[in-house]
Structure 1
Amino acid sequence: MSAENGNVSIANEPDGVTTISFYHPAQNSMPSVLLKQLADAIFNAGNDPDTKVIILKSEGDRTFCAGASFDELLQIKDKETGALFFEGFANVISACRQCPKIIITRVQGKAVGGGVGLAAAADYCLATDAAAIKLSELTIGIGPFVIAPAVTRKIGLSAFSQLTVRATDFQTAQWAKQNGLYNEVYEDLASLDAAVSELAKKLASYNPEALNRLKQILWEGTADWGDLLKQRATISGELVLSAFTQQALHSFFKNKSK
């Protein structure tokens, strides 16, 4: 896939660290094809005996992930297509949950919507001070239903409520750290990259079986998420067809083109 259409890339290091990177020119917003590639990459790395630790990151320095592709949202014309589209992020979260390897996620910039879900699906998450977060779904007539289990698991129901209801407001990276989404926050990109690299190499030197058992403990109580996330995707797939959401999406693009 060309850079114009975005891509997912995989880099394997001799020390057992596998880096999975994703990119899309529209602020790393993710169309369905990229979400499938990302889920597949996580699944494959998790089952690669040479991979001991996974780093999940995006390219660019301003936005980690702006969520779902608005272009694709506008093309949804029926419930089935809508459900399949929202299952894209569900499948990535499920891939992270089921992956037997520890996943470190590097959040270098803003995370919106599904991007917050990707951060929440990490086993350990490092970010910069620029990595503010926002769940803006209510503003277009849907909700962060698919990612809600992952986000609530990390930050709790009260913080999730604030993040969802304050749909037009960014919360700071420090807020995200205080509420448990980010484990560590760094002043700049260079410091973040150094910390991610150092942590990944340390983890890769540990007993793989111990890391696998830790992974299982970290995700205890989520065995029903396969069905749960699909149900949430169905809800979102129905709401995106509502008159409110269709008008909101068209208004967004109309204002964007001015």
Structure 2
Amino acid sequence: MSYQNILSESSNGITTITINRPKKLNALNRETIKELHDAFAEADQSADTKVIILTGSGEKAFVAGADISEFANFSVAEGGKLAAKGQELLFDFVENLSTPVIAAVNGFALGGGLELAMACHFRVASTNAKMGLPEVSLGVIPGYGGTQRLPQLVGKGRAMEMVMTAGMIESNQALEYGLVNHVTSLEELIPLAEKLAGKIMRNSSVAIAEAIRAINANYKDGVDGYKAEIEAFGNCFGTEDFKEGTTAFLEKRKADFPGK
């Protein structure tokens, strides 16, 4: 599939999606959000893709935010529709993908950029990364899940401070907060993400998909996460991966998971 604002490349079980609007610091506009949805959907449906890495082009920005020029004159109704559509099409979609998604945060991840990184299953960052939700400085609040996912990751008090001050934190502070899992140099960022992807790919993709659903269930209103875990656990017993994994363990050999 051909894209105008992103790049998507697949190799050795990894699909790397790169937001490619360097002149706009990779800011998200409606077209880019739609292209990202299509690229994630394509990768998720591919039997050859075991892990997805998301990053931004260049050295300055992962995603510097949303393209403000697109919505500066929106009405109340239009603003609500913008948030609802974006969450459905991209942010919630990424969070609930069956394929693991690693955000490789290079440079600025602000506003919608940080919200997109937080929608990924986990994050690694370069030492030059800076993260924040500056929306209140524009007279609006985070609208792509930021007020929900940030407290889940860093705690209510820290999230309140980050949102209300509209400030940025650097990568080491993000690591201390638990917002990112690892920090490394810019040069080693993608190699680190690929190394983590390699560790993931050694395991059952079917079990990982069930684990993602079970973990996410804990954060959904009206859903009992423990029941979701029990159901997901039971589902694993009907898979070829379970048979291969347990057989390999008993035979003291490395498992060769079929992904079924």
Structure 1 length as normaliser, TM-score?
A: 0.78
Q: For the structure 1 residues 222 and 42, does the alpha-carbon distance in structure 2 shift closer, same or farther, using more than 3 Å as the test?
A: farther
Name stretches of at least 5 consecutive residues in structure 1 with no aligned partner: 226-258
Match of 1:60 among 45, 58, 61: 58
1:83-133 per-position Cα deviation (integer Å, ceiling 9, x unaligned):
333335413211112210111110011111111111211212110111111
The count of residues paired between Structure 1 and Structure 2 equals 219
Structure 1 residue 99 and structure 2 residue 97: aligned? yes
Match of 2:25 among 24, 27, 30: 27
- Equivalent residues of 1:32, 1:88 under 8 A apart: no
| Structure 1 residue aligned with 2:253 | none
| Structure 1 residue aligned with 2:82 | 85
Structure 1 residue 190 and structure 2 residue 172: aligned? no
Name stretches of at least 5 consecutive residues in structure 2 with no aligned partner: 223-260
Q: Within 5 Å, which residues of 2 pair with 1:102-141?
A: 102-141=100-139
- Whichever residue aligns with residue 99 of structure 2, its letter is K
Match of 2:169 among 143, 168, 171: 171
Distance 1:119 1:207 in 2: 24
Match of 2:204 among 203, 207, 231: 207
Structure 2 length as normaliser, TM-score?
A: 0.77
Distance 1:152 1:42 in 2: 25
Distance 2:125 2:186 in 1: 9
Task: Name which one, 1 or 2, has greater alpha-carbon Rg.
Answer: 2
- Equivalent residues of 1:89, 1:114 under 8 A apart: no
- Equivalent residues of 2:154, 2:178 under 8 A apart: yes
- Whichever residue aligns with residue 45 of structure 1, its letter is A
User: 1:75 Cα deviation (Å)?
Assistant: 4.3
Distance 1:101 1:173 in 2: 26
Distance 1:131 1:27 in 2: 13
SS at match of 1:29: coil
- Whichever residue aligns with residue 47 of structure 1, its letter is Q
RMSD: 2.2
SS at match of 2:24: coil
Distance 2:84 2:20 in 1: 19
Match of 2:46 among 48, 58, 75: 48
- Whichever residue aligns with residue 209 of structure 2, its letter is N
Q: For the structure 1 residues 2 and 101, does the alpha-carbon distance in structure 2 shift closer, same or farther, using more than 3 Å as the test?
A: closer
- Equivalent residues of 2:130, 2:171 under 8 A apart: yes
- Equivalent residues of 1:119, 1:125 under 8 A apart: yes
Structure 1 residue 154 and structure 2 residue 153: aligned? yes
SS at match of 1:219: helix
User: 1:2 Cα deviation (Å)?
Assistant: 10
Distance 1:191 1:98 in 2: 28
- Equivalent residues of 2:83, 2:143 under 8 A apart: no
| Structure having greater relative contact order (Cα 8 Å, sep ≥ 6) | 1
- Equivalent residues of 1:36, 1:88 under 8 A apart: no
Q: For the structure 1 residues 68 and 155, does the alpha-carbon distance in structure 2 shift closer, same or farther, using more than 3 Å as the test?
A: same
1:199-241 per-position Cα deviation (integer Å, ceiling 9, x unaligned):
112212321122112212331234459xxxxxxxxxxxxxxxx
- Whichever residue aligns with residue 153 of structure 1, its letter is Q
